[in-house]
Amino acid sequence: MLGFWFMVFAALFSVVNPFGTLPVFISITQYDSKQERNRTAFRASLFMIIILVVFFLVGTYIMNFFGISIASLKITGGIIIGSSGFALLTGNFSKHKGMNKKVEADAIAKDDSSISPLAIPMLAGPGAISLLISYSKEYPSWEYYLLITSTILVTGFLTYLILRSAQVINKRLGATGLSSLSRLIGFIVIAIGVEYIISAVFMIADQLA
């Protein structure tokens, strides 16, 4: 069970990738006080947790309602996760999430940007949502539900700490360091996406055999 927990946590944290959100968070909160930045970090992390937990808990019902098979979801999720990882490798993560100058300017002008664009789609994006929905279908027992929910909570807490320390991290690592870290995570995220597609192909092959 412990090994399973770390596997899910590693996958979820990599796909959520709060480090990739740091440049956007810093830009959006550049005119805020330290207290306001901390509040935005907390709210963004909290809303991210709520969004991910809700989609995880209702994931099976969503799949059943639309008649989506686990193999189809894994292939789709793998493509989304892989494209997100590729965006990290090429330095286009923010653009991949739909962030452009106009959206960023609107976010800066907003009183509260913690829900949008920070919580969704920057943190709780389609990749993380599809990952959790597939987990909800694959591991339907309450023990696994508790374990996976706890990984969401831990990911949310670490995301809060990272966003809260955005200025310090940016000062220590700089743009080059953040870019290098994002590229490393991007490589891992692509591998997760490919793994999901491969597992779906084997699943389909077993059904046809």
DSSP collapsed to 3 states, 59-70? HHHHHHHHCCCH
Q: What angle do CA 164, 185, 93 make, to 5 degrees?
A: 75
75 neighbors 200 (Cβ within 8 angstroms)? yes
Residue 83: exposure state from Cβ atoms within 10 A (0-12, 13-18, ≥19): middle
CA nearest to 179, candidates 88, 96, 81: 88
Alpha carbon 34 to its chain centroid, in Å, reads: 25
DSSP letter assigned to residue 122 = I
Please count the other Cβ atoms lying within 10 Å of the Cβ belonging to residue 38. 16
How would you label 149-159 residue by residue, b for 16+ Cβ within 10 Å and e otherwise?
Answer: bebbeebbeeb
CA–CA distances in Å: residue 46 to residues 36, 87, 104, 156, 187: 15, 25, 21, 7, 27
Place of tokens 């959206």: 103
pTM reported for the whole predicted model: 0.88
Per-residue pLDDT of the chain (209 residues), as tens digits, is 788 999 999 999 999 989 888 888 988 888 888 899 999 999 999 999 999 999 999 988 888 888 888 888 889 888 988 888 888 887 776 665 656 666 556 656 566 788 888 898 889 988 899 899 989 888 888 899 999 999 999 999 999 999 999 989 988 888 778 878 888 888 898 999 999 899 889 888 887 86
CA nearest to 44, candidates 138, 122, 134: 122
Which two three-digit tokens encode residue 193? 């996406």
Please count the other Cβ atoms lying within 10 Å of the Cβ belonging to residue 183. 15
